[in-house]
Every structure is written in C-alpha cells, then in structure tokens.
Structure 1
Amino acid sequence: MKTRALGSQGFETSALGLGCMGMSDFYAGRDEAESIATIERALDRGVTLLDTADMYGDGANEELVGRVVRSRDQWVQVATKFGITRGPDGSRGVNGRPDYVRQACDASLKRTGLEVIDLYYQHRVDPDVPIEETVGAMAELVTAGKVRFLGLSEAAPATIRRAHAVHPITAVQTEYSLWTRDPEAEVLPTVRALGIGFVPYSPLGRGFLTGQFRTPDDIPADDYRRNSPRFQGEAFAANLRLVEAVEALAAEKGCTTAQLALAWVLAQGDEIVPIPGTKRRTYLDDNLGALDVALTADDLARIAAIVPPGAAQGERYPAATMGSVNR
C-alpha cells in the first residue's frame, strides 16, 4: 500500500482511506456482515485509515468500526467527528461548545472501545461558538492523551487559519471530486500554505461518478441521494452526460470509471488522501485499483476539458444543508 503524509505533524497513512458512513446510515442496502467483511478486506489490503463520525447511525457506525478494529492485531487509524447533533425527530443542529466537545469525545471513545482517537474532526463549524474556543477544547483532548491529531470538516479558509493558530490542524476534510471542485479556489491553497493535509470525502460523487446510476429510478426509494439536487431531474441528465464522457476516457485507459475518477483526485497533490466510501468488498477492490492508474499530463488535460470546474449541475446538498458547509 502506498502511503501519504497528512499535515506536517507526523501523521502518515495509506494513500486511500475507507469512508464507513454508508455502512450505517443514509444509503440503502446496508448489510452489517458485508460491511464488517469490507472493513476487514480493506485492512488486509493495507488501508490504515477508517473514517467514521458520532452522528452516522446515531453512534452505530463508531461501534461497528471499533468492533472490527479491536478484533485485529494490527495498526489501524480511526478518524471520527463530533459537532452535528440529531434530535429524536430527525432534526439536526451543530454544537461546538467546549463542554460538548469533551462529552462527545468521551462518548466516541466508549462506543469505539479505543483508548485514543487518531484523528478527531469538528464535523461542522458552529457559527455561534468562536472557533478558538472549540479548537481550544480539542487541544485539551490532545494534552489529555485522548486524541492524537486534530481536523476540521467543511471549514472556510479564514476559519482554518484561526483554528491552526490555536493548535496545529493536521487535516481538513471537504467534499472534492471531478464534479465538486470548489476547494480548488481557496481551501486547497490555504491548507497547502499552512502544511495541513486534505481529505476529500465523496471523491466519487456519492457514487454517481462510478456510472452505476443511469436513471433516477436506479436510486432506492429509501436512499438519501433521492433528495440530492444533483440526482434529480434535468441535473441528473446533464451530469450523466459528464459521466459518459469520463467513461469513454476510462475505457481508453483500460480502467473503470471509478478508478479514473479516484486517480484524478490522487493526482491533484501528494497531501491528498481520499476516503471513498463503500459497504461492499467488490467496490472496495475496484477503488483500490485506482492506485495503479497512472495519469499523464495529456490525460489530466483531457479530463479538465471534459469536466471543468462548475460543470456539474445542481448544488451538492439541499439548500437547508448548504448553509452549514464552508463556514
């Protein structure tokens, strides 16, 4: 397994991580036995970074990941997150208060059964709590030996700089893929200037960039993507045309569309560690094949012409959710 350094504090991990969210939440077709087998296959293949969060399945995903990790006699890095709260009625909020940070960390340690969390992210920035206070509490967790490294998710450049001034930030996690290139404008230059690693989530566009969805009806009725703007109506049709163009190039390269999309993300910088999510061993093996896809300068130029920044149609989240990202 190829490795990459996240940040400048000594966090080295596999070049691809595994996003575990879909094993417990949001996506249809969940199967716990297959999810466990998928995590185990990832670890067998040399993946060391597993990504979860306390809100995925209301803690069930942390429990699942922890159960597998504790059963393995090998080095594994677990990244988890706090900050998105869920009410009994399904409502969501954001909480970055110091007392909540401490409580959330203790709860995550209990659910995973780990003695220390390798990488602890603030899942969403709380606009009502100064980032200095939130990161100050996170830094206390490092001092207490409960957390090794700190991260932020969906934070704006100014927020990243303020947080990094309080305690070194090791990684910033943001959606990034061929059809979500927003970070290139400001976030990526910011993290590079500060020596912070970058962790793209949904590097396969929530599965759309794999080519598995040909019509909206291919999305199960109870799947979160049914409500995603990019998976609806005219946006779906326009985005499918982009995928078909990428498919043609992948065929020329002798790889799958997913492998080409992941190889493109990996080629954007050595400080980038994507975490494609899957709950199936078949897709995991396909994703890992991206590490063997070498893209030439000509390949990258052709991809840029096919899918330039802003080419995807539709927002990446519903309007109510877009307000919580990049802040």
Structure 2
Amino acid sequence: MHIGEPLEPLDRSTRIYVAGHRGLVGSALWRHLSDEGFSNLIGATSSELDLRDRDRVFDFFRLNKPDVVIDAAARVGGIHANDTFSADFLSENLQIQVNVMDAANEVDVDRLLFLGSSCIYPKFADQPIKESSLLTGILEPTNDAYAIAKIAGIMQVQAYRKQYGRHWISAMPTNLYGPGDNFHPENSHVLPALMRRIHEAKEQRAPEVVIWGSGTPRREFLYVDDLAKASLFLLENYDDARTINVGVGQDLPIHDLAALIAATVGYTGTLCQDVTKPDGTPRKLLDVSRLNDLGWTATTDLHEGITNTYEWYLTHLDSLRKK
C-alpha cells in the first residue's frame, strides 16, 4: 500500500499496541477495540515498560512486533501541574513519543496514530480553531512546554511519512473526560477537579465551592469513549500528513460547567470564583468540520457524559481518596 491509496479496514486479528493503555484515553481505546472484536491487543503498564527508557522500548517492539500503534501515552495534568512541572512535561513527553515512534519504525509498523492535545494551538487563535492555525501565534504560557512536545510529535509523524512513506497520522483531541480520569485535587484537569471538589463539598455540607479564575473562559469537552471510536475510524479512513481535530464543536463557560456538575452531584451550595487564580486560554473550541466531512461525529452529550463519569467516580471513591 502506498501513500494516497485507499486504506483497507483493519483485520480484527491485527496486532495493535496501545501505548498508555491504563490511562484515561488508553483504557477507553482498549474497551472500544475489544468491543469491536480485536483479539490481539498489546499493552504494558508503566512498571512493566518505562517508555522513557529507549533501550527497553526497542526491546519491547522487537519482541511484540505490533502491526498498528496508537500512542496514547503521555504525562498530563491541569494548569497547576503544567505550570509547576514544565521541564518534566516537556522532557518526558518528548522522550515517550520519540522512543515509541523510532521503535515502531524499526519494526516496520505501517499504521500509527499519535494523539496530541488542543493546547498545541495559539492562545489567541481564531475560533473555532482550524488545523491550519498550528504555529501561527504564541502559545498559552501555562502549558507551552507540553504543547511544544505535542507539536514535535506532529512533526515527527510528518517526517516519518515523508522519509519512509509510512501511513502514520496524528489527531488532536479537545479536552477529554470520562471513566478512568485523574481526580487528583491539584494535578487534574478542570472537569474531574471540579467534580471531586463539588462532591466533597456536598459530603462536608460546605456552604460554597471556590472555582479557579473568573469562570468566563469557554471550553469544549469530549467524552473519552467517543475519542476511542474516532481513533479507530481515523486509522481506517484517514491518511494525511496534516493533523486532524477531534471534538464536539460546542463549548461552554467554566462557570456553567461547574453548575452542570453541581446539579449532577446534587450540590446546592454557592459556586464562588477566585479571580486571583489564572484563567488560561480564554477560549478553545476546535473546528471539527474536516472530521465531520469524513463521516464521523461525536454522539455523547455533556450531561450524559458527566453522569456516566460521576457514576464511575462514586464506584471508585475509596481508591481515589488515597490519591
């Protein structure tokens, strides 16, 4: 198969390595691929394989010889974590993706999907953000280190396509949430952080919950199981050097998100804004017209997704409280 030729559907016996298969995205990918009948899924926990260790990554690929790779492995976090540990976020994410892609190329992996983040786009990009906005302006300074790493991943995919003729692609999801999310009180993303804070306020009968920032920045949220479905769709239908956005095409203010979570949790106290805390990017809505034109659209609305996520959170509460 050559670049430009139509892609063939993946055989359900295809050996697929999901890097980061225990994380939020990776576990959703594993669920969806299993549900779709893929019988040769390959995964390794971080204790079994440190993706920052180049020699071990190469040995793993030589041993397992996957046919397809989905790189969902990354060091991730919210504004506080990105801003505090910027050197770690840049260095570790570069190491992970370089090692995975170099090893995949060595064992002749022809189809690979690299998953990035919508934070790659300029802070003041025109809304909704088109893929062509990449590298046209300054990044949001609170997560620019992570963004630079992910931009490098896109460039690496493009370089392998150009030099080796690989059918490798990259996709940039919007803000993700769902079962398996990180609910750490300081290092998590906005939706799970708010969910934990509001739930604990309900338990403690606290009269108010403090929310970082003005509450006016607008964000788009994609249920992680929808991303898993989009990923398989792209592997079977998309073959282009340009990265492609994955989202829902709708956003809402952070304050409205907090109100929706409070209603789901059953919290009736006051939601207060701490305007001394950073807002981050004022708006980050992805233009998903290219993906929609290919024939894929997200199907899980935000209320349903938050309800499912909260149900998962409640069933895992004992383990999450220890983190």
TM-score normalised by L of structure 1: 0.31
TM-score (norm 2): 0.31
